[in-house]
Amino acid sequence: MNVLDRPPSPATASDILPPRFRAWFEAKGWAPRDHQLDLLARAEAGRSVLLIAPTGAGKTLAGFLPSLVSLARRKRAAPGTRPRGVHTLYVSPLKALAADIERNLQTPVDGIGLKISVETRTGDTSQVRRQRQKLKPPDILLTTPEQLALLIAAKDARDFFADLETVVFDELHSLVASKRGHLLALGLARLRRLAPGLKTVGLSATVSDPDELRAWLVPQVSMAETEEADEHGELVQPLSDLITVEGGAKPDISILASEARVPWQGHMARYAMPEIYEAIKAHKTTLLFVNTRSQAELLFQELWRINEDTLPIALHHGSLDLGQRKRVEAAMSRNELRAVVATSTLDLGIDWGDVDLVVHVGAPKGASRLAQRIGRANHRMDEPSKAILVPANRFEVMECQVALDANYLGHQDSPPMRAGCLDVLAQHVLGMAVAEPFRADDLFAEVCTALPYRDLDRPTFDQVIDFVATGGYALRVYEQYAKIRLTEDGTWRVTHPRIAQNYRMNAGTIIESETLSVRLIRRKTTSAIKRGGPVLGKIEENFLETLSPGDTFLFAGQVLAFQGIHEMECLVTKTQDDEAKVPYYGGSKFPLTTYLAAQVRAMLADPARWGALPDQVRDWLAIQSRKSAIPGADELLIETFPVGNRFFMVAYPFEGRLAHQTLGMLLTRRLERAGAKPLGFVATDYALSIWGRGDMGAMIASDRISLDALFDEDMLGDDLEAWMADSWMLKRSFRQCAVIAGLVPKRFPGQEKTGRQVTVSSDLVYDVLRAHEPDHVLLKATWADAATGLLDVARVSDLLARIRHHIRHQDLEEISPLAVPIMLEAGRERIDGEGSDELLSVAAEAALVEKALSEKNKFYSTKWT
């Protein structure tokens, strides 16, 4: 516990816990835990608190105890007065978690005999129930960030939240760093205005910087308006109180030591299936975590292929139909399943039955995520959780090993907080206008109390308002179509009820990739299509674009044959095939964290540490050091070699796929200028491979390419700017910003747009905007997104600084052992350069040749002018 933050007075159960509560604890044979009493005492003193505790520490009860005590003491409302508003609001990142808490809270509420109403409000809540909640608000409302945005944008928000005393944020660490967190922070700022005495409680797993979360929980002070400063002249910002509960028993984690050969690349770990199956058989209930949906599908199918005992093994991921997911969750809580294959949909604290083993297939990519997932096993904090890591390829063996070390060290690597996104702010501004007319001065002051927007400057804020009103274009031709307008009394108001309706349909920051429902039909005939069949889930539209009718793919645990797209649905039939013809490659969506990357580099550079690795991985590295070289910890190894009629250059920065992708784009531009004729590149978490028609090895050896110049930090200047402006990633990022900011609607009332239609138009819109208004607020938002998340520019910059004058070049005659994985990798980037016209030219020439050789002159004449 933090000594500096002692509660106002030391608390004991008899001091502050009402008798009814004490009796309940005693009847259960429990004693209230110190942190639960501590939190209660601080809350009673009016403090906001961040509670950091491991899974199983009674975090939820601690978070709600102050509200339960306060509600138990509250007098009944006088008859004839207006119904009381919500007393406590609970916000969780997952609606499933909210539902889970509703069940769990019922135990103490019933046990103590409290007359407290607890209800959830999520996307699944019926319209009838929502209406009833508005008329008679529950004492405790459990909801999600998106629903909160809608609640505060409602006309009756003032009454609904007038009696609000406490907001509890669960899994706060997982919320704050994202755009969702930004919207939530703005929502909290509004709640503080509606209910000025508001207290907050943040519940979080261990984080690297608790002060960020502490600041997030309490109103911040704008730079311009405070004189408080520490001895360095730095602004002293208000923080919430902090209670830290130390971790329980150390988890028992091992890396699967397989008899089989660990593959060079890939993400599926097929080789380990028999051993994973044995582990499932040896435990009561096993949770199997993977990083992507496609991995989940494949793992599930492979397990059933060898499931000779027909153990109940289920599948759970976000693309599956809601009903199916719910059935799995229900079966799980009844302890009817032996294993569940899951993606991050199960990362957060849903309470499962008696899970006694967690298997993590593929590298966890971050030590914090690993800790969180392992925490799913065995919900009692004093017993060790048991987990097995299954690396899918050889680099992952190293990654698992260092992640394992990191978990024991308790190292945390949550992503850093970033400045509040302007697209999110734009959405919030419109929402606040929908709620009631606002004055710009007041809203600006309110917004600046939210941590992510603390340093927002007024001109930018005004630009956002202008954007919301008329699009914010220098060419002012949209005044007549304004969404909000400054009225004579100095307030901004929405211009039309339709604007409010549109806002409600499009609120939130979760932009799903364009998906279509997958419907199973019996055969592809008009009558069978009419009859329909069950919906199996949702699938990305751009994956479907690669399919032709008859192609088979893996989805919802079965091999399906694609039949076509009909009325915005993907129609499939069952097949007899065992193997899907089209692999769905997702790769890992989580980039390797900086910390783990550094650990992998350190392990690689130090042969003394290879002892921890399996023989086959050790041999692989030993051959690498004989045939080429092992890079030092602060060195960048570059290998060049020919394969077929192409020349390859492979670099091993170990900085994560995103950073490598950015680097790949920048390097190919430079190589193109140097005459190396690059054709494409591929990036993994560990390495980057560029290939081309020019012999890059010879060019480096003869100093026609200088590696120091090639990797010079100046590439982050003009090259980055020129490339970013046209990259597809920026366009995708623009699309998200445009949807969040309300420029492009997710949905028009009564008219579902397909994602594809939005994509096409937003690309063109981006081009037009960039050509005519490069300083537009939405382009600012897009660039900020791309530079932080999408491109990992900061990491590329750190990398370039780190390796300056530490580049080691090996010109080889053939591929090296270390290069094998990346040479086998799928998912390549092509360079959009001279090549595109070449392709057209080849096709046109081929047609001419065919015409010249054919007997019949089929094509009509063309002549060049």
CB of 123 to other proteins, least distance (A): 23
**Residues 765, 786, 793, 799: which binds other proteins (CB under 8 A)?**
765
Q: Find the binder of other proteins among 141, 154, 769, 781 (CB under 8 A).
A: 769
Specify the residue, 194 or 565, whose C-beta has the smaller distance to other proteins.
565
478 near other proteins (CB under 8 A) = yes
Which one, 304 or 473, has the nearer CB to other proteins?
473
Residues in 678-737 at the binding interface with other proteins, rule: CB under 8 A: 725-726
Q: CB under 8 Å to 556, separation ≥6 — which residues? A: 297, 315, 320, 321, 324, 518, 536, 537
Residue 302: which H helix or E strand, with range? helix 293-305
* Residue 801 or 840 having the CB closest to other proteins: 840
Least distance CB 726 / other proteins (angstroms): 6
CA separation for the pair 50, 46 (Å, rounded): 13
Per-residue three-class SS string for 575-591: CCCCCCCCCCCCCCCCC
The residues in 487-506 that bind other proteins, with binding defined as CB under 8 A, are: 498-499, 502
CB 282, min distance to other proteins, A? 45
Query: What's the number of CA atoms in the CB half-sphere (13 Å) around residue 489?
Result: 6
Residues 569-628 within binding reach of other proteins (CB under 8 A): none
Measured distance CA(152)–CA(160) in Å, rounded: 9
* Beta-carbon count within 10 A of 819 CB: 23
Are the C-beta atoms of 747 and 448 separated by less than 8 Å?
no
All residues at 6 or more sequence positions from 601 whose CB lies less than 8 Å from its CB, including other chains: 631, 633, 654
Provide the 10 A C-beta neighbour count for residue 23: 14
Question: Does position 645 bind other proteins by CB under 8 A?
Answer: no
Which position among 773, 798, 811, 829 is part of the footprint of other proteins (CB under 8 A)? 773
Query: What is the CA angle 262-267-271, rounded to 5?
Result: 35
Beta carbons within 10 angstroms of residue 36's beta carbon: 27
DSSP, res 229: B
Minimum CB separation from other proteins for residue 689, in Å?
15
Q: Please state the φ and ψ torsions of residue 486, each to the nearest 5 degrees.
A: -75, 120
Q: Which is nearer to other proteins, 436 or 763 (CB)?
A: 763
> What does the longest C-alpha to C-alpha distance in the chain come to?
103
Amino acid at 356: D
Q: How far is the CB of 380 from other proteins (least distance, A)?
A: 53
- In the region spanning residues 385 to 404, those forming contacts with other proteins, defined by CB under 8 A, are none
475 counts as binding other proteins under rule CB under 8 A: yes
H-helix or E-strand spanning residue 538: strand 535-540
Q: Given CA atoms 585, 590, 596, 601 in this order, what sign does their dihedral have?
A: positive
Helix (H) or strand (E) holding 216: helix 210-217
Q: Does 847 bind other proteins (CB under 8 A)?
A: yes
* Region binding other proteins by CB under 8 A among candidate stretches 28-36, 137-145, 375-383, 856-864: 856-864
How wide is the angle at C-alpha 43 spanned by C-alphas 40 and 45, nearest 5°? Answer: 110
Q: Which of 25, 264, 304, 473 binds other proteins (CB under 8 A)?
A: 473
Q: Which stretch binds other proteins (CB under 8 A): 173-181, 276-284, 664-672, 754-762?
A: 754-762
If one asks whether residue 846 binds other proteins (CB under 8 A), the answer comes out as: yes
Residue 608 and residue 615 in contact, taking contact as beta carbons nearer than 8 Å: no
Tell the smallest beta-carbon distance from residue 669 to other proteins (Å). Answer: 12
Residue of 748, 752, 774, 827 that binds other proteins (CB under 8 A)? 748
Distances 29 to 32, 294, 417, 475, 818 between C-alpha atoms, Å: 10, 46, 42, 72, 58
* CA nearest neighbour of 255 among 241, 270, 234, 276: 276
Residue among 685, 627, 680, 634 nearest 659 (CA): 685
Q: Applying CB under 8 A, what is the total number of residues that bind other proteins?
A: 54
CA separation (Å) from 550 to 131, 558, 583? 47, 15, 14
By CB under 8 A, is residue 568 in contact with other proteins? no
Residue 510: CB minimum distance to other proteins, A = 20
- Nearest-approach distance from CB 275 to other proteins, in angstroms: 36
Provide the minimum distance between the beta carbon of 550 and other proteins in the complex, in angstroms, as a whole number.
Answer: 14
Q: Which is nearer to other proteins, 257 or 847 (CB)?
A: 847
Site for other proteins, residues 431 to 470, rule: CB under 8 A: 470
Query: Which is it for the CA torsion 587, 588, 592, 596, positive or negative?
Result: negative
Q: Among 682, 743, 784, 823, which residue sits at the site for other proteins (rule: CB under 8 A)?
A: 743
Among 533, 546, 541, residue whose Cα is nearest residue 568: 541
Q: Which is nearer to other proteins, 739 or 803 (CB)?
A: 739
Nearer to other proteins among residue 300 and residue 766 (C-beta): 766
Contact letters for other proteins, residues 517-556 (x by CB under 8 A):
----------------------------x-----------
**Which of the ranges 216-224, 557-565, 644-652, 764-772 carries the binding residues for other proteins, by CB under 8 A?**
764-772
Q: Contact with other proteins (CB under 8 A): which of 30, 408, 481, 728? A: 481
Cβ at position 430, least distance to other proteins in Å: 11
Q: Which of 763, 798, 811, 829 binds other proteins (CB under 8 A)?
A: 763
- Distance in angstroms (rounded) separating the CA atoms of residues 610 and 580: 38
Helix 273-281 to helix 293-305 angle (10° resolution) is 70
CB of 560 to other proteins, least distance (A): 20
Nearer to other proteins, 771 or 801 (CB): 771
Stretch that binds other proteins, among 223-231, 323-331, 476-484, 806-814 (CB under 8 A): 476-484
Nearer to other proteins, 6 or 646 (CB): 646
- The CA distance from 62 to 34, in Å, is 10
Site string for other proteins, 805-844 (x = CB under 8 A): -----------------------x-x----xxx-xxxxxx
Q: Is 477 in the site for other proteins (CB under 8 A)?
A: yes
**Binding positions for other proteins, rule: CB under 8 A:** 470-471, 473, 475, 477-478, 481, 483, 498-499, 502, 545, 725-726, 743-745, 748, 757, 760-761, 763-773, 776, 828, 830, 835-837, 839-844, 846-847, 858-865
